[in-house]
Amino acid sequence: MRSNRRRIVVELPEAARGKRLDLALAEVVEGFSRMALQRLIREGAVRVDGIVVDRPGSRVEARGKVEIDLAGTASAEAPETTTAELPVVFEDEHLVVLDKPAGMLTHGTSATRAGTSAASSEASAADIAAARFGPLPSLYGADRPGIVHRLDRDTSGLLIFGRTQAALEALQGAFRAREVEKTYLAIVRGAPRFDSEWIEKRLGRSAKHRDRISVVRDGEGRDAATYYEVRERFEGYALLAVFPKTGRTHQVRVHLASIGMPLLGEKLYVPRRLQGTPSPSAPKMARQALHAHVLAFAHPATGEALRLESPIPADIADALATLRAKPRVR
């Protein structure tokens, strides 16, 4: 591979014949994830034997020279944004489990896929997984490599990627069958009525705000069930262990808000009576205080029982330290 800051030139080997162009390039172009290469292809920055190819799924017909023009493309910064590393909690030839920080997308949005915004060079966890572990299979399109499940951008914690088609299908099946035990840690505002409680409310798209989820009437939306246990109580706040039994979008956030206990730092789902400027003494969180702490599941190939844990991130630990410094509530 020959490259400079404006152009990359590679020779596709005979083994690339019949493969998707984005996959073939991911195997020979260093420093770019498959998603970043897809963006470059769509932007018209890739020529195969002198002819522009703008479809990532185009099949390679024969070995040949590929030129990638980085000058003026939205993906020019891709190497710097896609080679970051995430802590690896578990890794073998079948799957990998990463510890995603808050603020990072699980996979690219429509804007990042199209390369139409300033966010187009933003690395998602899927980008980084593909860059570090090589091409990953996908059941939901080439822009979601290895995706088994997802976390909201501002939710931190454990994220599983399948490294083989068989493992990916088995893991997704385990999530659908509710065979994966998920434990989240959450700091909520308010005083829980009980030390433990089930929240069983159907969820669907909000009629007023299509980017939000809301509790809907029977017969609408989809069933959703969340169980929580109180771990610590504070004046006006509580630390919960949350066990979602279904995996609906924004489920934990919406369910907790629906019983008057929004997450600390929550911006979308806050009951009207709790909206407004928090008191100066309130613990500080720049995002919702929700962390995917533990995942327990059967290994998709061996059947071995796995229990993986992510440590409490610094911002949630700091908020807990602030709360613990005040008088306790029993």
Q: Checking phi first, is residue 103 left (phi over 0); if not, alpha (psi -120 to 50) or beta?
A: left
User: How does DSSP assign 223-280, residue by residue?
Assistant: --EEEEEEEEEETTEEEEEEEESS--TTHHHHHHHHTT-PBTT-SS---GGG-SPPPT
Q: Is 15 helix (H, G, I), strand (E, B) or coil?
A: helix
Any idea which residue has 């690339």 for tokens?
16
Q: Which amino acid is at 209?
A: H
Q: Which amino acid is at 39?
A: R
The DSSP code for 222 is B
Short-list 288, 188, 197, CA closest to 243:
197
Q: Is 158 helix (H, G, I), strand (E, B) or coil?
A: strand
User: How does DSSP assign 310-324, residue by residue?
Assistant: -PPPHHHHHHHHHHH
Short-list 50, 40, 122, 102, CA closest to 75:
40
**What's the token pair of residue 182?**
């998920």
152 is catalytic: yes
User: How does DSSP assign 181-199, residue by residue?
Assistant: EEEEEEEEES--SSSEEEE
Please check whether residue 279 is in contact with residue 307, taking contact to mean a CB–CB distance below 8 angstroms. no
Alpha carbon 2 to its chain's center: 33
Active-site position among 152, 211, 223, 318: 152
Phi, psi of 328 (to 5 degrees): -80, 155
Short-list 151, 187, 146, CA closest to 166:
146
Question: Which residues belong to the active site?
Answer: 152
